[in-house]
């Protein structure tokens, strides 16, 4: 046995123990992370699964002290009961049009404003961002009445346009806040390079800035769409003869059975899932934090 071999042996044992310990700790962390992820996923998905299950269950499977976890006696009766033109199609159309209109208008109005704010000096920028955030402190319930009175005077009640404008009141500042952060991440040097290439201001905005900001704009549009889709307060005040889907869900939860409520809730969730799935790939880490970066 050589000296080298003798001196190497203790180092190999210690190094192996260190590598083994590091490997075990990484494995433990990974297992812990996966377990937590599974737990949060289940907690998130389970209520939706219960809703879906109730909407397809026969009454005897739900109206009991210990309802089964699985679906045994499936029925389409609850869906048949609510899927008619008056109950669903009309309100769904209103909700879809209003949510889409709100998202479009919010982006069209807030994007230019956000771009300008993002290019201001730091002091002005922070002041304006704080002003935008300050408006979020007012709950919709508190300002819905004066908004409703004004809109009634303008004849905007029972119109999709009126509801869109009402939804823009809380949505615009929020969308602007998100987009400020988006535009801040686009270096000015890129715009200057575009000027050098012969583009004017508008051309630079259209061909360089907006495409780069497109993911952030998609995220802002998604938030605006979701906020408008879920609104109940302004719909109650501004829609007398018409309905939106959340309003129908509210009325059914007051007057109908749990089956009607669950069915409506699932119906309300489907477009949200579709829109979120379509746009969620554009949600990047840091999209929302840009506005508060130093």
What are the residues binding other proteins (CB under 8 A)?
58-60, 62-65, 67, 86-87, 90, 93-94, 96-98, 100-101, 103-104, 145, 148-150, 152-153, 155, 157-161, 164, 207, 210-211, 214-215, 217-218, 236-237, 240-243, 250-251, 253-260, 281-282
Nearest CB to other proteins, comparing residues 129 and 265: 265
Question: How near is the Cβ of 5 to other proteins at its closest, in Å?
Answer: 58
CB of 59 to other proteins, least distance (A): 4
Q: In terms of CB distance, is 257 or 276 closer to other proteins?
A: 257
Element at 108 (helix H, strand E): helix 90-118
Cβ distance to other proteins smaller for residue 117 or 218? 218
Q: Whats the size of the chain, residue-wise?
A: 294
Cα–Cα dist 164/101, whole Å: 6
Q: How far is the CB of 126 from other proteins (least distance, A)?
A: 30
Helix (H) or strand (E) run with residue 238 in it: helix 233-238
Q: Phi, psi at residue 57, to the nearest 5°?
A: -95, 150
d(CA 223, CA 228) in angstroms, rounded, equals 9
Burial class (CB in 10 A: 0-12, 13-18, 19+), 283: middle
Nearer to other proteins, 241 or 294 (CB): 241
Give dist(CA 95, CA 164) in Å, integer.
10
Least distance (Å) from other proteins to the CB of residue 185?
A: 16
For the chain, give the longest Cα–Cα distance. Answer: 100
Minimum CB distance to other proteins, residue 21 (Å) = 44
Q: What's the number of CA atoms in the CB half-sphere (13 Å) around residue 15?
A: 5
Nearer to other proteins, 152 or 288 (CB): 152
CB of 141 to other proteins, least distance (A): 10
Residue number, 128 or 267, with CB nearest to other proteins: 267
């Amino acid at each position: 046995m050589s000296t080298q071999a003798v001196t190497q042996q203790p180092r190999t044992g210690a190094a192996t123990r260190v590598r083994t310990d590091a490997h075990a700790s990484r494995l433990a962390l990974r297992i812990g992370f996966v377990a937590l992820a599974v737990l949060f996923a289940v907690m998130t998905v389970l209520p939706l699964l219960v809703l879906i299950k109730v909407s397809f269950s026969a009454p005897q499977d739900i109206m009991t002290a210990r309802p089964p976890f699985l679906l045994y006696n499936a029925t389409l009766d609850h869906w048949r009961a609510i899927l008619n033109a008056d109950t669903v199609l009309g309100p769904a159309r209103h909700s879809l049009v209003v949510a889409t209109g709100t998202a479009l208008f919010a982006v069209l109005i807030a994007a230019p404003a956000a771009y300008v704010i993002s290019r201001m000096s730091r002091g002005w920028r922070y002041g304006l961002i704080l002003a935008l955030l300050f408006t979020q402190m007012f709950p919709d319930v508190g300002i819905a009445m004066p908004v409703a009175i004004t809109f009634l005077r303008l004849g905007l009640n029972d119109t999709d346009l009126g509801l869109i404008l009402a939804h823009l009141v809380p949505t615009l500042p929020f969308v602007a806040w998100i987009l400020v952060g988006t535009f801040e991440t686009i270096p000015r040097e890129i715009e200057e390079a575009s000027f050098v290439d012969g583009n004017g201001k508008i051309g630079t905005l259209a061909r360089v800035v907006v495409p780069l900001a497109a993911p952030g704009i998609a995220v802002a549009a998604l938030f605006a769409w979701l906020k408008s889709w879920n609104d109940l307060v302004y719909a109650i005040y501004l829609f007398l003869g018409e309905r939106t889907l959340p309003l129908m869900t509210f009325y059914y939860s007051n007057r109908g059975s749990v089956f009607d409520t669950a069915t409506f809730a699932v119906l309300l969730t489907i477009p949200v899932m579709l829109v979120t799935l379509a746009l969620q790939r554009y949600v990047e880490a840091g999209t929302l934090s840009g506005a508060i970066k130093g």
